[in-house]
Copies of this chain bind each other. A is one copy, B any other.
Amino acid sequence: MDLRPLRVNGKRLRNSLEELARIGATPAGGVRRLALSDEDRQARDLFVSWLEELDLEISIDELGNIFGKRAGTNNGLPPVVSGSHIDSQPTGGRFDGALGVMAPLEVLRTLHENNVETERPIVIVDWTNEEGSRFAPAMVGSGVWVGALERDWVYDRTDRNGNRFEDELVRIGYRGTTPAKRWPVHCYYEYHIEQGPVLEEERKVIGAPKGILGLHWFDVFVTGEANQVGPTPMEGRRDALCAAAEMILQVNQLPERMGGNMVATVGEVRNAPNSRNIIPDHVHFTVDIRSWDDDHAGRAWKQVREDFEDTAARRGCSIEIEETWRVQHAEFDEDLVQQILQIAPELGYSHLHMVSGAGHDASYMNQVCPTAMIFIPSIGGRSHVEVENSRWEDCEAGTNVLLHAILRSARA
Chain A residues packing against B (C-beta within 8 Å): 89-91, 96, 132-133, 136, 138, 194-198, 213, 215, 217, 225-234, 239, 241-242, 244-246, 248-249, 252, 255-256, 263-271, 273-281, 286, 288, 290, 356-359, 381-385
Contact = CB atoms under 8 A, between A and B. Distances in A.
B249 A245 contact: yes
25 contacts: A91-B273, A194-B231, A195-B230, A196-B231, A217-B276, A226-B384, A227-B383, A228-B383, A229-B265, A230-B290, A231-B356, A233-B263, A234-B263, A241-B266, A245-B252, A249-B249, A265-B277, A266-B280, A267-B276, A267-B277, A267-B278, A267-B279, A269-B269, A273-B384, A275-B384
Contact of A269 (B230, B274, B281): B274
A230 B274 contact: no
Nearest to A196: B231
Contact of A230 (B91, B281, B357): B357
A226 B381 CA distance: 10
A381 B269 contact: no
Given A231-B357, A276-B217, A241 B263 contact: no
A233 B265 CA distance: 11
Contact of A133 (B227, B255, B265, B275): B275
B275 A89 contact: yes
Contacts of A246: 245, 249
Nearest to A266: B241
Contact of A382 (B227, B276, B286): B227
B381 A232 contact: yes
A286 B280 CA distance: 12
Given A198-B231, A227-B382, A385-B227, A267 B274 contact: yes
B232 A357 contact: yes
Contacts of A136: 276
A267 B242 CA distance: 10
Contacts of A239: 252, 265
A325 to B, nearest CB: 9
A276 B271 contact: no
Contacts of A232: 196-197, 263, 357, 381
A89 B229 CA distance: 13
A256 B234 contact: yes
Q: Which 10 A-B pairs have the closest CB atoms?
A: A196-B231, A230-B357, A231-B357, A276-B286, A245-B245, A230-B358, A229-B265, A245-B248, A228-B383, A267-B276
Contact of A249 (B89, B195, B242): B242
Nearest to A385: B226
A248 B223 CA distance: 17
B249 A269 contact: no
Contacts of A228: 96, 195-196, 357-358, 383-384
Contacts of A268: 271, 274-276
A356 B230 contact: yes
Contacts of A217: 276
A306 to B, nearest CB: 19
Nearest to A325: B276
Nearest to A233: B263
Contacts of A197: 231-233
Nearest to A274: B268
